[in-house]
Amino acid sequence: MNSRNPTISDVAERAGVSVPTVSRVLTGAARVSPAKREQVEAAIAELNYRPSAAARVLVSRKSQTIAVIAGNTSRYGYAETIRGIEIAARAEGYTVMITVVESADEDEVDRAVSATLTQALAGVIVLKFDPPGVAALGRLSTDLPVVALSGTRETGLRQAVLDEASAAEELTDHLLGLGHETVHHVRIPPSRRVDGRTTGWRRALRRAKAPIPPLLDATWLPRSGVGIGHALAEDPSATAVFCGNDEIAMGVMRGLAEKGLRVPEDVSVAGFDDHPLAELWSPPLTTVEQDFAGLGRRGFQLLLEALDGTGVRLYSSERPRLVFRESTAAPKARS
C-alpha cells in the first residue's frame, strides 16, 4: 500500500497524456478530445485520484471554501442558520469552515479571526447575533466579500436579516389588542445596546401610549427564565409577557406555574423563534416563526452574488410570521 496520494502527474502518466490535459478534463476549462478524456477519466478512477484543493487554490487564487463565524453553534437559531448556509453552499460546490468565537474578548476574537483568514477563502459569513459576532465582524480586516446575518443595518455592509423589530411590534400589538394594559418584556442577551425584538416591543408600547415596564434580562439559559417568572408572579401589572425567545418563555412559564399562576388565564406569555418544542408545550406557545435556515440560505446567496460580480444587492430582509397558539388570551382580573 502506497501511502502517498496520487497526484495529477500520476494520472497523466497513466493516461499517457500531459499534466495540463488532465487539468483540463478536471476543470472543464478547455475542450479535450473524447479519446483522451476517456483515458484520463479511467486513470482517475483506477487511481482513486482526488485533486488537491490546496494546490488548486495556490495557483488559481480561487477558493471554494467559505468561513462562517458564529458566537455559538448549538443554540436553536444559530444551529438552524448554519444548517441553511451549509446546505446552500454545498449545493453550489462550496465547503464550509466553522469558527466559533465565544466571547467578545479582543484577543480571543483576533486569534480566531486570524486563524480563519489564514485559510484560502472565497468569502466570510458572520452571524451578527451577539457581541462576539459583532466583535468578529469589526476585526475582519480583509478584502474578501463578507456577509453579516442579522444585527442592525449598516450602510455598505452586505447583510441578510429577519425583520425582528416589525414582528416584535406586531406581537406586542396583538397582546395589547387582547386588552392588556401593557406588555412586559424579557430580553435575551442583545448583540448591542439595541436589539430588534426589544425595539419593536418598545415601539408598539409607545405608539399605544401604554406604560413601558422595566426591561427584564435573561441569559441564554432557558432556566434563567424561571426566576424571572417568579418575580413576574409578584407583579399584578404583569398580565402579558413577551419573551425574547421560546426557551426563555418556557422558563418563565415554569416560574409562573411554580407560583401557582396559570397561562394564559392569569398571564399571557409569548415567545419568539417558533422552536420545534413550542407547539408541544402546555399550553402551546404563541410565538414568531423565524426562518433561520432561510436566513442562512439568503446570506449565502448574497455572498455568491458578490463572488459572481452579478447582483448589486446588499440587503435582504424577510418579515417573520406570527403564530398564534394558546398561551396568549385576553386578561382576567388578578388579585
Q: Which residues bind its own copies (CB under 8 A)?
A: 3, 5, 48, 50-55, 57-58, 65, 72-74, 76, 79-80, 82-83, 86-87, 90, 93, 95-100, 102, 112, 114-120, 141, 143, 221-223, 225-226, 247, 250-251, 254, 257, 276-277, 279-280, 282
Query: For 149-184, b where at least 16 C-beta lie within 10 A, e where not — what string?
Result: bbbbeeeebbbbbbbbbbbbbbbbbbbbebebebbb
Partner from DNA, its own copies, none contacting 45, C-beta within 5 to 8 A by type: none
Partner from its own copies, DNA, none contacting 33, C-beta within 5 to 8 A by type: DNA
- How many angstroms from the chain centroid is the CA of residue 244? 16
Partner from its own copies, DNA, none contacting 194, C-beta within 5 to 8 A by type: none
**How many other CB atoms are there within 10 angstroms of residue 128's CB atom?**
27
* Subset of residues 6 to 35 that bind DNA, contact rule: CB under 7 A: 7-9, 17-24, 26-27, 29-33, 35
Partner from DNA, its own copies, none contacting 27, C-beta within 5 to 8 A by type: DNA
Partner from its own copies, DNA, none contacting 320, C-beta within 5 to 8 A by type: none
Q: Which residue has the cell 466583535?
A: 135
Question: How far apart (Å, rounded) are the C-alpha atoms in residues 76 and 72?
Answer: 10
Residue 290: DSSP 8-state: -
Q: Which residue has the cell 429577519?
A: 162
Order across the sheet with 216-217: list the strands. 216-217, 184-187, 240-243, 268-270
For DNA, which residue of 43, 44, 56, 264 counts as binding (CB under 7 A)? Answer: 56
Residue 58 is a binding residue for DNA (CB under 7 A): yes
Question: How far apart (Å, rounded) are the C-alpha atoms in residues 78 and 268?
Answer: 27
Partner from its own copies, DNA, none contacting 83, C-beta within 5 to 8 A by type: its own copies
Q: Which runs of consecutive H residues, i.e. helices, occur in the chain?
A: 8-15, 19-27, 34-47, 53-60, 76-91, 106-118, 131-138, 164-177, 196-207, 224-233, 246-258, 292-308
Task: Convert residues 64-103 into a mask of x (bound to DNA by CB under 7 A) and - (unbound).
Answer: ----------------------------------------
Residue 330 is a binding residue for DNA (CB under 7 A): no
* Subset of residues 171 to 190 that bind DNA, contact rule: CB under 7 A: none
Is the Cβ of residue 246 or residue 305 nearer to its own copies in the bound state? 246
Binding site for DNA (CB under 7 A): 4-5, 7-9, 17-24, 26-27, 29-33, 35-37, 49-52, 55-56, 58-62
